[in-house]
Every structure is written in C-alpha cells, then in structure tokens.
Amino acid sequence: MNESPRSAWQNNRWAIHPEDVSSLWTHIGTLNMSTGHHTRIVWRGMANEAFEVTSSLVRELEKRGVRATEDAVRSAEEASIQNVREWGIGTSEHGHASDLHLLAMMQHHSVPTRLIDVTYNPLTALWFACSDIRHSLSTGVLVGFMVGSAQLIKTVPAAEPPTYGSMQDPYGFQYKHSLGQTLETGLPLLVEPAVRDARMVAQEGLFITSAVPESRNHDAPVAGILQPKSMEYRADLGKFLIEGKRTTPTMLRSVFAMVGFTITPQIKNAILPVLNGSFNRSYRTMYPDFSGFATYEGTNHVSRQTGPEAPLNPN
C-alpha cells in the first residue's frame, strides 16, 4: 500500500485514538449504533498507520511516475479489460461479462484496479488491521466510512429495458455512468459482486470506488477517490460531528465521511485472541479457499525460515 505521512492518521481530524481494547469496542459500537440506521457504514482494516486509503491501480500508476488522474486511471482500466478479454476470460455460453464484473475478478486476483476492498463487518476489518505479522510492531488503523445513500450496484446488472447508452456500450455503460454520478453527488460508488465465492462470503466483502477527483487534500490519508469529510465525535455522548457541525439523519444520508481508529501493537496483541476465540476470525475462516491456504502455507514457511516474532496462526 501507499505510504503517507505518519501524522495523517495521528491528526485528530481523521482518527480517534483508543487507549485500550475496551475503549476501541466502545468506539466501534457507538459509531454503529448511533448512525447505522441513518446511513450505510462500511469498513476497511489497514495494518500500518503509514498506509492511506487508495486503490491498487492508483498506487501502481504512482509507482510508474504517472499522475493518477481520471483519464490515466480509466485508460489503464480499459487496457486491462481488453487484455483480460483477449486472454479469453469473461466469456461463456451465457455471454460476455460486464466490464465491472471483470474488474471485480481482477481485484480479487490481485490485478490492480480502482476498486478498494471493504467489508460490512467491522470485526472482519479489525482482523485485517491486526493480523499481518509483517506489521505486528506497527500501529494499524480501522477505518469506518459513512457512505450515506451511495449507489450500490451489482457486478452483473439486472435486466432492464435498453437505453441508447447501454446499446452503444452494453458491457461498460453501467459502470461508466455510475462513476460519473459520483462526482455529481459527492458520494462514492459501492460495488457488490453478483457471484460471491467462499472468500467474499466469509469476509462479507464489497468494494468502494469513485471517479478520480481533479485535486486532493494532501493533509488527508486518502488518494485517488472522492475526499470524504472528516468525522469527529464523543463516544460517551454519542454526539456525532462532521467538520465541526452537528449532523441530522438527513445530513447523514447525503454525506460521505470517514473516521479512523488507531490500533497500537499492544491492542493488536490483546484483541487477536478475542477475534479468533469469540468471533471466529482467523486465516482459515477469512481465506477458506485453496489459494488462501496456499498463500498461508507459503508465508508461514518463510516465517519459519526467517524467525519472526510469531508464526501465522491459521485458527
């Protein structure tokens, strides 16, 4: 993942800093219970506070020295989609997969896309923030996104009467049209795979994305997607503030906002056994497919050779 200034998540505008596990539970519960019935909340876990919220494609472009504009991202996407189709992927007796479905498949198999993995379940995101032993000595971040009434689309669109746009571009129109709307509404796009494999089911996963804005706030730990508003609150009172203003249910439905919860190495060590024992979160349950097992075995073999602080625990 991309690295941003260490101070980004340490800035109180963008993150809350729980002192212990009990405080972290309180914050997670308060965010869910106080806003969850007014707006959708999705979550992302990051193992290191040096990471920022950005997509693998934006990171790849920046690594090549290419400025990640909407034109650059879209051009890279179209090239990848064409290459995948030429490879013979996405074609079956049922027809051709949509561009969005191919992008979801690419993201799932570690090909760079603009889709960012998130989950409906904060416990799953928390596990991802805590479980990577390569960052066991680093502070992680649990990120909550309040996405308001953001559009949720399936990777395989429902059958609808054709429009001029969909007739001209039957595989890509829905995706491109929905991306364009994100800049108009100020809300991101949520993408849910229509066909969910064992891993997506276990992780309760989906994707968040948007068109690339023309500019970014370099003080925020976000790049390549819409700039969310910062969210601050006092957990004891359950009073939520967005950029210093008290919110209403109507406002919550129309605003894209973000808050991070920093997770120290001490909290990571204390909470991982709880996530495993009480909430069934582990490498085995989060990666139940064969490729997950193979990745775990390969990483665990390397860890045994190099002697990290602790081996990976599949359970």
pLDDT tens sequence across 239-290: 677 777 777 888 888 999 999 999 999 999 999 999 999 999 999 999 998 8
Residue 96 lies in a domain: no
First-to-last alpha carbon distance for the chain, in angstroms, is: 26
Instruction: Compute the radius of gyration of the chain from its Cα atoms.
Output: 20
- pLDDT attached to residue 1: 46
pLDDT tens sequence across 226-241: 999 988 776 665 667 7
Mean pLDDT of 133-144: 95
Confidence of residue 305 (pLDDT cuts 50, 70, 90): very low
Residue 144 lies in a domain: yes
Mean pLDDT of 210-217: 92
What Cα–Cα distance (Å) separates residue 118 from each residue in 80, 250, 315?
A: 22, 24, 22
Residue 67 carries which side chain, given as an amino acid letter? R
- pLDDT attached to residue 313: 46
Residue 59 lies in a domain: no
Flag whether pLDDT at 196 surpasses 90: no
- pLDDT attached to residue 164: 53
From CA 177, how far away is CA 166, in angstroms rounded? 10
What Cα–Cα distance (Å) separates residue 229 from each residue in 104, 148, 150, 196, 256?
A: 26, 12, 15, 31, 6
Q: Tell me the range of 9-18, 161-170, 231-240, 306-315 where mean pLDDT is highest.
A: 9-18
Find the range with the poorest average confidence among 10-14, 211-215, 245-249.
245-249
Flag whether pLDDT at 55 surpasses 80: yes
Query: Residue 63 in contact with residue 50, Cβ under 8 Å?
Result: no
Mean pLDDT of 119-146: 95
Write out the residue range of the structural domain in which residue 131 sits: 7-54+115-305
Query: Residue 140 in contact with residue 47, Cβ under 8 Å?
Result: yes
- Total domains in the chain come to 1
Residue 95 lies in a domain: no
Confidence of residue 309 (pLDDT cuts 50, 70, 90): very low
CA 15 from centre of chain: 17
Mean pLDDT for the chain overall: 86
Residue 129 lies in a domain: yes
CA 125 from centre of chain: 9
Residue 200 lies in a domain: yes
- pLDDT attached to residue 304: 45
- pLDDT attached to residue 315: 47
From CA 202, how far away is CA 196, in angstroms rounded? 10
Helix or strand run (H / E) with residue 118: strand 116-119
Residue 92 lies in a domain: no
pLDDT tens sequence across 76-108: 999 999 999 999 987 765 567 889 999 998 998
Find the range with the poorest average confidence among 6-15, 89-98, 135-144, 214-223.
89-98
Mean pLDDT of 34-38: 76
Confidence of residue 160 (pLDDT cuts 50, 70, 90): low
Query: Residue 3 in contact with residue 220, Cβ under 8 Å?
Result: no
90-76-290 Cα angle (round to 5): 45
Query: Residue 131 in contact with residue 272, Cβ under 8 Å?
Result: yes
Residue 124 lies in a domain: yes
From CA 99, how far away is CA 175, in angstroms rounded? 7
**Burial class (CB within 10 angstroms; exposed 0-12, middle 13-18, buried 19+) of 24:** buried
Q: What percent of the chain has pLDDT over 70?
A: 85
- pLDDT attached to residue 181: 95
Confidence of residue 300 (pLDDT cuts 50, 70, 90): low
